């Protein structure tokens, strides 16, 4: 029997390293039910991603995030200014890491190569990792 040697660990950025629910804080500015609005936005974001992948019609995740935001705004019948839309989109660039992540990554990095695999665009991921101070842990 051959023993496997694990050399690296790959994390999904959103929902594993950073809390996507933290974007709900930005939603407080425009939605009376920010958690529900954020949940709808995230669900549509993932749905659009899966559908476009299945259809072979790639779009950058940042573009899909904007399209999903527009859907959620319409679904909740909200009046949102261009500045508020921009603020909501920028919330994805300033995620909140889960508390245990900052403690765990240095320990894991001692033994493994760490990487991110995500739907997120390079700008979203790079900026998010820089903002959280976690970028140095990932290859």
Task: Identify whether 128 is part of a domain.
Answer: yes
Residue 63 falls inside a structural domain: yes
The per-residue pLDDT for 76 is 97
* Counted domains in the chain: 1
d(CA 129, CA 135): 5
DSSP lists the bridge partners of residue 11 as: 116
Q: Given its phi and psi angles, is residue 101 left (phi above 0), alpha (psi -120 to 50 degrees) or beta? A: alpha
pLDDT at 56: 94
Domain, as residue range, for 93: 8-137
CATH code (residue 114): 1.10.150.240
| pLDDT at res. 22 | 77
Local mean pLDDT, 10-residue blocks, the chain (139 residues): 88 90 89 94 95 93 96 97 96 92 95 93 92 94
- Residue 1 inside a domain? The answer is no
Task: Examine residue 2 and state whether it is found in any structural domain, yes or no.
Answer: no
Which are the catalytic amino acids? Answer: 12
37 in a structural domain? yes
CA dihedral for 28, 130, 67, 52, sign (positive or negative): negative
Within a domain: 3: no
Backbone angles phi, psi at 32, to 5 degrees: -65, -25
The separation between the first and the last C-alpha atoms of the chain, rounded to the nearest angstrom, is 31
Residue 77 lies in a domain: yes
pLDDT at 43: 96
The alpha carbons of the chain give a radius of gyration, in whole angstroms, of 17
Q: Confirm whether 120 is domain-assigned.
A: yes
pLDDT of residue 63: 95
């Amino acid at each position: 029997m051959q023993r496997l040697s694990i050399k690296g660990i790959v994390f999904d950025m959103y929902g594993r390293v950073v809390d996507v629910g933290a974007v709900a804080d930005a939603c407080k500015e425009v939605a009376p039910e920010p958690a529900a609005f954020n949940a709808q936005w995230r669900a549509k974001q993932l749905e659009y991603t899966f559908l476009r992948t299945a259809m072979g019609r790639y779009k950058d995740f940042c573009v899909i995030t904007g399209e999903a935001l527009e859907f959620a705004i319409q679904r909740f019948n909200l009046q949102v200014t261009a500045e508020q839309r921009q603020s909501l989109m920028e919330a994805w660039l300033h995620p909140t890491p889960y508390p245990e992540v900052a403690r765990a990554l240095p320990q894991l990095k001692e033994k493994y190569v760490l990487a991110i695999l995500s739907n997120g665009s390079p700008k979203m991921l790079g900026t998010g990792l820089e903002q959280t101070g976690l970028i140095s842990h990932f290859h």
